[in-house]
Structure 1
Amino acid sequence: MSFPLARTVRGVIIAAGAIAYPVLAHYSTSTTAVTTTPWLGVTVSLAPSLAILLWLTWRSPNKLAMVPLCAVVGVLLWGFWGALERNFSWAYFIQHAGTNLMLAAVFGVTLGRDRQALCTRFAEAVHRSSLAPEVVRYTRQITLAWTLFFVAISLVSSLLFMFASIETWSVFANFLTFPLILLMFGIEYWVRMRKLPHVEKHGILDGMLAFWKTPSGRSSTSLPPR
């Protein structure tokens, strides 16, 4: 298979999965699915975690060391399958709320005193030079905004899960979260164009990609800024 064709096929598979997963996840929380096919909820809710485990096993330089871990996970799934079928909604909730809390932590931890804000690092990766003071100030504010955004998503997810129906929570988690993220990107772009009209029109996604492609940038994610 040629490289362009392989990229196209991979893109189609990823797009199909991105559409199918939230649809299946939402359906699996319906009363009909919970009653007739509880295994579907367990399978779909655990699919991302198991996929990550398999990917880490495949990419591990010592695959034999990962085999016992995979075996233990398989035994636990077999032994607790019944309990998982009765409580798979918690797996969905922990996955959704936990992911957003983790993202909030990733952004928020860089706001500490004498630390470089994550969005400032993204901006430096794009411009490949030091930033003007107003840009540094703005990117720090945006880092705080994204931190609060992910905290809010996790909080709303928790409140809906605890006090609303599982179907209502599922609509928010599976169909509204991603559009809200896109809306956040749009609002950030609009604000940036008003506050920094003279700055090159690079978005946070450009910064993320540039930052990730820079080896020194990746290695500095766990270190204090220079």
Structure 2
Amino acid sequence: MTWTLVRAIRWIVIATGAIAYPVLAYYSTATSAATTFPSLGVAVSMAPSLAILLWLTWRSTMRWIMVLVGVGVLLWEFWGALERNFSWVYFLQHAGTYVMLAAVFGVTLARGRQPLCTRFAEAVHGSLTPEEARYSRQVTLAWTLFLLAISLVSSALFFFAGIEVWSVFANFLSFPLILLMFVVEYGVRLRKLPHQKKHSIMDGMLAYWKTPAARPGASSDIR
């Protein structure tokens, strides 16, 4: 099997999962399946957390087995409670993820720190002009506020609008809103920095994570 075919299969699997998960999540929370088939809700709601745990321990067979055993014991012990409250697992994962992402961006705006989007920009463009540095700081703030807004809207809908409305927002609108944010930021950047070489923030992220500064333990302070 060629490497190209392997990559193609991998992306097909990822795309299939990206489509199937929100559909299953919506079906298990906002339809009659929430009461008639609560086990599906537990399984789907726990899948992301379990996948992350397995990914973090993948290189260690012993840890991988310990995670599976530990999760199995917890699920056995609390399965009934999870069936009655799996919508909370969905909510905490959704709102909590966006809060954590907002914190990742927001903490870099503190005095003496380098804004995260500035790091992304430097990874692609090298040294930045004062105008570019100022803009990248503003973009970092914009992403912080945007991610917080997603979390706040998620919370408001979950508590006040009902699980059906919340599920539509969480499963079908959140990701398109992120894509829209990328598009809006790119359009603003074209107007604010017309002479800068055209790269997306995703290019910056990928370049940044390939640099030594992105490795664990590396300093993120401005030198």
Describe how 1:213-224 pairs up with structure 2 within 5 A: 213-219=210-216, 223-224=220-221
Aligned counterpart, 1:28: 28
Residue type at the aligned position of 2:56: L
**Post-superposition shift, 1:219?**
4.2
Q: Deviations over 1:105-145 (max 9, x none)?
A: 00000000121100000000001x21100000000000000
Aligned residues: 223
Q: CA 1:192/1:221 → structure 2, altered by over 3 Å: closer, same or farther?
A: farther
Q: How many percent identity over aligned positions?
A: 70
Aligned counterpart, 1:83: 81
Q: Is the 8 A contact 2:114 2:220 kept in 1?
A: no
Q: Is the 8 A contact 1:108 1:143 kept in 2?
A: yes
RMSD, matched Cα: 1.4
Aligned counterpart, 1:53: 53
SS in 1 for 2:43: helix
Q: Is the 8 A contact 2:121 2:204 kept in 1?
A: yes
1:88, 1:54 → 2: CA distance? 21
2:215, 2:136 → 1: CA distance? 18
TM-score (norm 1): 0.94
Unaligned runs of 5+ in 2: none
**Post-superposition shift, 1:66?**
4.7
Q: Is the 8 A contact 2:54 2:67 kept in 1?
A: no
Aligned counterpart, 1:97: 95
**Post-superposition shift, 1:217?**
3.1
Unaligned runs of 5+ in 1: none
| 1:180 partnered with 2:177 | yes
TM-score (norm 2): 0.96
Aligned counterpart, 1:153: 150
Q: Is the 8 A contact 1:110 1:117 kept in 2?
A: yes
Q: CA 1:49/1:2 → structure 2, altered by over 3 Å: closer, same or farther?
A: same
| 1:64 partnered with 2:52 | no
1:211, 1:162 → 2: CA distance? 38
Following TM superposition, where does structure 1 have runs of at least 4 consecutive aligned residues deviating by more than 4 angstroms?
Answer: 219-222
